[in-house]
Amino acid sequence: MSDPIGQIHEHDNQAWFHPWEYLPDVGHNQRSIIQRAEGIHVFDEHGQRLIDGPGGMWCMQIGYGRKEMAEAIAEQALRMPYMNPFSLTSEAPTRLAAKLAELAPGDLKRVFLTTGGSTAVDTALRFVHFYNNLKGRPGKKHIISREHAYHGSTYLGATVTGKDRDRNWFDINTGLSHFLPSVNPAGRPAGMSLQAFCDARVADLENKILELGADKVGAFIAEPIQASGGVIVPPEGYLKRCWEICRRHDVLFIADEVVTGFGRLGHWFASEAVFGIQPDLITCAKGLTSGYLPLGAMLLSERLFQEVSGSNANGASFGHGFTYSGHPVCCAAALKSIEIIEREQLLQHVRALSPHFLERLHALREIPLVFDTRGMGLVGCVECRVRPLVESGMDGSELYAFETELGMRIDRHCHELGLMVRPLTNLCVFSPPLVIQRDEVDQMLDILHEAILRTQRELE
Ligand code: PLP
């Protein structure tokens, strides 16, 4: 393919309706055109090489341009590109299901393959409803989520997403979803200890279950680290205590590991290895194929599966699934990506590199514009605030406009300097490919440091 640059922009503006399209800009967007990618780098239309700071969209684990991935995908596409998953079976999805069951914590031995993260979340939520219907508890349907959560863009995924920006102008069925306050320690009231903050956020969950009635609450859904909500790392012990509350009240715990799975935090799954919990359901996607092809999965506890199977099934079938559930080519890509992560010991690599990445990230706090830095494993975020720096000169709305644009401004400077970041209002988030090396982490953070300084100078 070799369309001229102008034509790509024209088609982009005239034909492609993008995800999260900011509609006032339609018709005159000049998005960067990414022409090719190699290792941890992408190359734009001017041939400029950029470190891929966000790792695609939190999904690029093994790096770009892997020949053996392309070969595995081509081999499967030639041999058998599609198979009806409702009534047939084949090698790639069965092998992948068995592999995921092996990698998963606890008794999460049943694997439902989906087309991505949102459909994995939908599958989990629909399973919770199905399960309680079958068990004769049709009232046990409410789902508890949290502010800043992102669980996908399908109707049901959006229903438990706790960010207004992602729900404004749509209709959602709010009757079944409930949102607990943010668990961002940086947002706690001045003077409140981390322990007191953790106690309060844990109590929120128990209080909400008691308020609704445990017989009405089907599940609590939580990303171990809230990723697109701003890389919110909960206070130590929070998740485990929430999990214990769920068990006490017979509420299912869904860990949404779409971002935290497949090595992002140095383990296949973070739930047990990092947070010491064994969820009833785990949803995953993204790093499952390293973003080479779309695929997601819901991992389900064998105990729950047995409760709705065989003589317990009461004649029911689980009437849910997708034409592309267990797509053989996507499964072949996932198997190859997992094989590479294992062979190259990328989980160990992330665990070894993470302290340096976090040290460099937190060092950015010395810049006055930086309000907070957060991270874990190979995921991080820098949050900037203008307000404390500006004593006069700008009125409230100017300040607000400037602040919400901070991420974009930093991104522009980063781009000039050779780094792509993911700007989210006044935040920049990072989840670089897991294959990134120590000197490349330094390069990435040197650029970010300079870009924030340049942005700060724009205030002066
Ligand atoms: N869950 C989490 C935690 C996510 O971060 C995302 C996507 O960013 C999703 C679900 C939705 O995944 P997808 O975009 O593959 O549908």
Q: Please compute Rg for the chain using Cα positions.
A: 22
Facing residues of 374 across strands?
Answer: 381
Is the beta carbon of 285 within 6 A of some atom in ligand 1?
yes
At residue 172, the pLDDT reads 81
Task: Give the pLDDT confidence of 427-454 residue by residue, as tens digits.
Answer: 999 999 999 999 999 999 999 999 999 9
CA 64 to chain centre: 19
User: What mean pLDDT is predicted for residues 10-20?
Assistant: 95
Four-CA torsion 323, 102, 280, 244, nearest 10 degrees: -160
C-alpha 69 to ligand 1 mean position (Å): 23
Q: How confident is the model at residue 460 (pLDDT cuts 50, 70, 90)?
A: confident
Specify the range with the lowest mean pLDDT, choosing from 44-53, 98-107, 114-123, 168-177. 168-177
C-alpha 310 to ligand 1 mean position (Å): 32
Is the beta carbon of 424 within 6 A of some atom in ligand 1?
no
pLDDT at 122 over 80: yes
Is the beta carbon of 256 within 6 A of some atom in ligand 1?
yes
C-alpha 346 to ligand 1 mean position (Å): 22
At residue 271, the pLDDT reads 98
C-alpha 459 to ligand 1 mean position (Å): 35
Q: How confident is the model at residue 200 (pLDDT cuts 50, 70, 90)?
A: very high
The residue to mutate among 119, 145, 150, having the most atoms of ligand 1 within 8 angstroms of its beta carbon, is: 150
Closest ligand 1 atom to residue 260 Cα is 3
At residue 387, the pLDDT reads 72
Give the separation between CA 176 and CA 154, rounded to whole angstroms.
Answer: 15
Work out the angle at residue 225's Cα, subtended by the Cα atoms of residues 219 and 231, and round it to the nearest 5 degrees: 135
Give the separation between CA 115 and CA 345, rounded to whole angstroms.
Answer: 27
pLDDT above 90: percentage of residues in the chain: 89
Task: Give the pLDDT confidence of 33-86 residue by residue, as tens digits.
Answer: 999 999 999 999 999 999 999 999 999 999 999 999 999 999 999 999 999 999
pLDDT at 188 over 80: yes
What is the ipTM for the molecules in this complex?
0.99
Is the beta carbon of 116 within 6 A of some atom in ligand 1?
yes
At residue 283, the pLDDT reads 98
C-alpha 157 to ligand 1 mean position (Å): 9
At residue 279, the pLDDT reads 98
User: What mean pLDDT is predicted for residues 203-226?
Assistant: 98
At residue 389, the pLDDT reads 66
* Mean pLDDT over each residue of the chain, to the nearest integer: 95
At residue 391, the pLDDT reads 59
pLDDT at 27 over 70: yes
At residue 394, the pLDDT reads 65
Give the separation between CA 282 and CA 298, rounded to whole angstroms.
Answer: 6
Name the residue among 446, 438, 221 with its Cα closest to residue 350.
438
At residue 388, the pLDDT reads 67
At residue 63, the pLDDT reads 98
User: What mean pLDDT is predicted for residues 416-425?
Assistant: 93
C-alpha 63 to ligand 1 mean position (Å): 20
At residue 403, the pLDDT reads 80
Contacts of residue 103, Cβ cutoff 8 Å, sequence gap at least 6: 268, 269, 338
At residue 144, the pLDDT reads 98
User: What mean pLDDT is predicted for residues 214-221?
Assistant: 98
Task: Give the pLDDT confidence of 309-343 residue by residue, as tens digits.
Answer: 999 999 999 999 999 999 999 999 999 999 999 99
Q: By alpha-carbon position, which residue is closest to atom 1 of ligand 1?
A: 151
Q: Is the pTM of this model over 0.95?
A: yes
C-alpha 258 to ligand 1 mean position (Å): 6
Task: Give the pLDDT confidence of 151-163 residue by residue, as tens digits.
Answer: 999 999 999 999 8
User: What mean pLDDT is predicted for residues 357-364?
Assistant: 98
Closest ligand 1 atom to residue 227 Cα is 5
Task: Give the pLDDT confidence of 233-263 residue by residue, as tens digits.
Answer: 999 999 999 999 999 999 999 999 999 999 9
CA 396 to chain centre: 33
Is the beta carbon of 117 within 6 A of some atom in ligand 1?
yes
Q: By alpha-carbon position, which residue is closest to atom 12 of ligand 1?
A: 117
